[in-house]
Amino acid sequence: MTDVPALPVVWRPRTTRLVAYVTAGVSVLGMVLLAVFVAPQFKAFDRTMMVLFGLLVAWILHMLARCRVAADEAGVTVVNAFRTRRLDWAEIVDVTMSVGEPWPTLDLADGTSLGAMGINGAEKHLAARQLSELQSLVRVRGEAADR
């Protein structure tokens, strides 16, 4: 069993962030170079659209790279690509991640579930440690006190 980590703690993928930001940089640089040097037959509008396309790709990659799961005394914040959700500890019933799944699923008290893209299943050992830490925090903080 994993020790309960000290709060606050933030879990985020390493490889995903690296690949996304390197790809974003290459995309923007490539489109700028294409607009300036390789495409002299294009008008200013076309060149501007090339650079804007590179920036759009970079923005989408940034949105994927910003994914994280942050835990503090009050609860958990799940930042996915295009949505952020704040949960109190009591709202989280369980955290599961089967072999081969891309990220864990938080089972919530209202019967719904929420994917936590901030823990990336492709990073097997890191994801296992992060998942174990989150599960231990949910066990300790998520259960209501006995009366």
Sequence-separated (6 or more) residues with CB below 8 Å from residue 62? 20, 21, 24
Q: Could you tell me if 27 and 45 lie in one domain? A: yes
Q: Could you tell me if 34 and 53 lie in one domain? A: yes
User: Quick one: DSSP state of residue 36?
Assistant: I
Q: Could you tell me if 95 and 126 lie in one domain? A: yes
Q: Could you tell me if 24 and 80 lie in one domain? A: no
- Residue in this structure with the two tokens 């109190």, named with its chain if needed: 88
Closest CA to 108 of 135, 89, 132: 89
Bridge partners of 76?
Answer: 71, 87
Is 147 part of any domain? Answer: no
User: Quick one: DSSP state of residue 129?
Assistant: H
Tokens, residue 142 = 């998520």
Residue 110 near residue 121, CB atoms below 8 Å: no
pLDDT in tens, 7-66: 999 999 999 999 999 999 999 999 999 998 887 788 999 999 999 999 999 999 999 999
- Give the pTM: 0.84
Q: Could you tell me if 60 and 44 lie in one domain? A: yes
Closest CA to 35 of 51, 56, 52, 58: 51
Domain with 132, as residue range(s), is 9-13+67-141
- CA atoms of 84 and 78, how far apart (whole Å): 6
Count of helices and strands (H, E) across the chain: 3, 7
Q: What's the pLDDT at 144?
A: 53
State how many domains the chain has. 2
Mean pLDDT of all residues belonging to the chain: 91
**Number of residues in the chain:** 147
pLDDT in tens, 84-119: 999 999 999 999 998 889 999 999 999 999 999 999
